Structure 1
Amino acid sequence: MNDFSADVAVVGLGPAGRAVAHRCAEAGLDVVALDPHPSRTWTPTYSAWADELPSWLPQTAVASTAQKPAVWTDRHRIIDRTYCVLDTPALQATLSLDRVRVLAGTAVDVTGSRVTTADGTIVDARHVVDARGTLDSRDLAQQTAYGIVVERHRAEPILEGSDAWFMDWRTDNGARSGEAPSFLYAVALDEDRILLEETCLVGRPPLELAILRSRLHHRLTHRNLEPTGHEDVERVRFSVEPPPRSLLHTGRGGPVLFGSRSNLMHPATGYSVAASLASADHLVERFRGGGRSGPNRPVHVWTVQKLRNLGLRTALALEPEMVPQFFSSFFSLPVELQRSYLSGHDDALGTMTAMLKMFPTLPASARLAIARTIARTPGRG
């Protein structure tokens, strides 16, 4: 058995955990990081709103940008906000762990001051960060997607002159009336390739990948792009909710939850990487301030999480034909309010204002569905 001690112990080395470990080490803190496969190469496509990214992240970590991405709800709309796709290998390389002691192992017990692994290794630390992500549980609301990577010259007509499709809710994907909806997500990965992805935003349970594959092929064929079957494929399935707090050590003496294991996962989009990168330095400042950290959340952060969870329950409760109408109302909001709801994880006033401004613009059937959601017993917090 080997024992270690450090200023900071980080459990989990996905983008969130690696960002915390990297920034803590850069600030001069002694860091031990633990992951079952710490050297694994990241393969997912990570995207973000450009204004969410921290200033310390180099431009080389960005693979492509869309100055004004588009959505199609009831009609074509432009989002006046720059969207970007991260260069996954460059991002992983930027978050260097050269100054971090990295251990390969599986944590079986994680508290606010100690990590114990399956082989009996113990890491004692003044601060412990649990960044192991959320659970792959069918009991949690999940997002699923199936995409193919296509050469730009073949895929560009699908964009119809837009920089990207953030969401295209048109119904040319073969889905029958009353079935759970899905949308087309289309972004440039670099100068030569475009990702075309059919996405189930959220479901409990979500649409299966085979259904999304069929819908994507139907949609693309309808738009005169016939998949060859030889394209690179991206498959996505993850929970958009953090694990139930009953399964986590969140009370007094618990670790700091971070990334998608915390409120940084947005349940309406599934995005957490940019928020995690931007929040890493907040933890560094907190840890350098001395004293022992705990899992407490400021009341404004707690409020935003409650409001977002209400939005998630609303999305799950909407009838399929209401979903595009819901996003039509959302993307009619001023971009500042869109930003508050999508990115302001500690902006309680902005989040609430966006929701209140949006409500009266919805069809009566959608307003009734939201009212019923509010009237029900609140779900997981």
Structure 2
Amino acid sequence: MVTDDLLICGAGPAGRGLAHRALAHGLSVTIVDPHPWRRWTATYAAWADELPQWVAPEAVGAMVDRPIAWAQRRIELDRRYLVFDTARLQDSLDVTGARLRQDRVTEIAPAARYRHDGLDLPSVRLASGPVLAAGRVIDARGVARSPRLAEQTAFGVIVDRARLPEPETYFMDWRADNGAETDAPRSFLYAVPLDDERVLLEETCLAGLPALDQRTLHDRLTHRLRCRGIALTGTEPVERVRFPVHGGRPNASTFGAAGAFTHPATGYSVATSLRMADAVVAGESLWPGTARAVHLLRQAGLRALLALPPADLPLFFEAFFALPVESQRAYLSGRDDLRGTAAAMMSLFAALPWRLRRTLATAAALPIRRPPDASRAALASAGDPE
């Protein structure tokens, strides 16, 4: 039986990025995925300071020095933001030399010297029947949807830049011109350049139980753009987004969204996956005590976000983006920065009105529960589908 150093389940950005770095370090690699050669179509973005130096420059489609957040007022964010060129990102994560197996993993078994099949290595069972062993097996297949998990949903269109009356990049635009009722679950506009000629305009909702549906987001986006003098023709390329913003297992055998890398306040996981790939290849622990504590704090933050009344979400994000950029960076990107994350959350809590503090404190202490109907869902939003 031929065994490789590393067997990766999943060929999305996390799995392919990990394979790319493993090959660069001289490891032998097998990738198993139902569609290992399928082209990616989602839009991925990141804060520029999150990326490792080895990411190819051509993988970046657009760079924005000071993106805009608009909650109750316009705020320039003092942090460089980038949007990947999806096709070039995929191509830059070259996996030439890896064994690509088109199949579905049905079971992952840990190493056990006295197993009945005689294998003393971790292994996977494929839907077609064979069992493959490797020195290490990493699950990078993402997180399956579940009614128990909050989801991010979004509907977007891609338009020529020349059609926009204003050239600004909106990381988050909460202005109330999307036609939604005041007490309805909120969503916001995410408007970012893809390259020098095209812009993605996306009505986005980060976390919902239940999530806003595509028709609602489509109608809100159409209404919002019409109010801003942008009439859609119906021929624009479309992007639809729906995936869980929490879940996954934080351990040594999972990676990417499957390894709980998704940030529940943004939905981002690609940059973290790329940044942590070399550590996985080196066999380092990705989950020291500080990282696990930050993970728990972020989950508490998601519970608090879901509990906010829809009308108060702009106020919440107004307070967040008024924090010093170091505090914002600690909460959004410091996956093992326990002190910085806790300090950012405490500063945000102190900046909010008393009527919201009780709601947030109560929600943060309780598990996430699916509400009995959509009218009780509190939704928040942010940009990048992972």
TM-score of the two chains, using structure 2 as the length reference: 0.90
1:128 to 111, 114, 137: 137
Q: Distance in 2 between matches of 1:44 and 1:106?
A: 22
Instruction: Give the partner amino acid of 1:22.
Output: H
The amino acid of 1:279's aligned partner reads M
> Is 1:108 aligned to 2:106, yes or no?
yes
Q: Are the equivalent residues in 2 in contact too, given 1:73–1:324 (CA < 8 A)?
A: yes
> Hey, what does 1:263 align to over in structure 2?
260
Alignment correspondent of 1:61: 59
Residues 269 and 377 of structure 1: CA distance in aligned 2, closer, same or farther (over 3 Å):
closer
The answer on whether the counterparts of 2:303 and 2:366 sit within 8 Å (CA) in structure 1 is no
Contact 1:111 1:255 in 2 (8 A): no
Evaluate the alpha carbon distance shift between residue 33 and residue 305 of structure 1 in structure 2; reply closer, same or farther with a 3 A threshold. Answer: same
Which residue of 2 is the match for residue 277 of structure 1? 274
Assess, with a 3 A threshold, how the Cα gap between structure 1 residues 376 and 242 changes in structure 2: closer, same or farther: closer
CA distance in 2, matches of 1:272, 1:347: 17
Give CA deviations for 1:224-263 in whole Å, capped at 9, x if unaligned: 11111111111111110124x5xxxx8xxx8611001122
Q: Which residue of 2 aligns with 1:302?
A: 292
Report the counterpart of residue 119 of structure 2 in structure 1: none
Q: Which runs of 5+ in 1 are unaligned?
A: 288-294
Select the residue among 132, 154, 157 that pairs with 1:148. 157
* Pairing partner for 2:231 from 226, 232, 253: 226
Partner of 2:20: 22
- Within a 5 Å distance, the mapping from 1:132-281 to structure 2 comes to 132-155=141-164, 157-159=165-167, 162=168, 164-243=169-248, 256-281=253-278
Q: Distance in 2 between matches of 1:98 and 1:283?
A: 19
CA contact 1:144–1:206 (8 Å) conserved in 2? yes
- The answer to whether the aligner puts 1:325 opposite 2:333 as a matched pair is no
Report which stretch shifted further, 123-132 or 165-174: 123-132
> Offset at 1:377?
5.0
Contact 1:158 1:223 in 2 (8 A): no
Alignment correspondent of 2:11: 13
Give the Å deviation of 1:374: 3.3
For 2:105 and 2:131, the matched residues in 1 are separated by 9
Structure 2: give runs of 5+ residues left out of the alignment: 111-121, 371-386
Q: Over residues 282-333 of structure 1, what are the superposed CA-to-partner deviations in whole Å (9 max), with x where a residue is unaligned?
A: 111117xxxxxxx883111110110000010011100001111110111011
How many pairs are equivalent?
359
Distance 1:379 1:306 in 2: 16
Letter of the 1:308 counterpart: R
- Superposed displacement of residue 213, structure 1: 0.5
Equivalent-residue separation in structure 2 for 1:148 and 1:239 (angstroms): 22
Deviation at 1:118, TM superposition (A): 1.0
Where 2:215 maps in the other structure, the secondary structure is helix
Distance 1:144 1:378, change over 3 A: closer
Residues 101-124 of structure 1, C-alpha deviations (whole Å, 9 max, x = no match): 111110011133111111122221
2:363 aligns with 373
Q: Of residues 31, 40, 43 in structure 1, which corresponds to 2:41?
A: 43
The answer as to whether partners of 2:301 and 2:364 remain within 8 angstroms in 1 is: no
Q: Cα 1:227–1:146, aligned 2, differ >3 Å: closer, same or farther? A: same
1:45-104: per-residue Cα shift (whole Å, max 9, x none)?
Answer: 111111111100111100001110000011000000010110111111111111211111
Percent identity of paired positions between Structure 1 and Structure 2: 46
Question: Matches of 1:211 and 1:312 in 2, distance apart?
Answer: 23
Range 329-338 or range 361-370, more displaced: 361-370
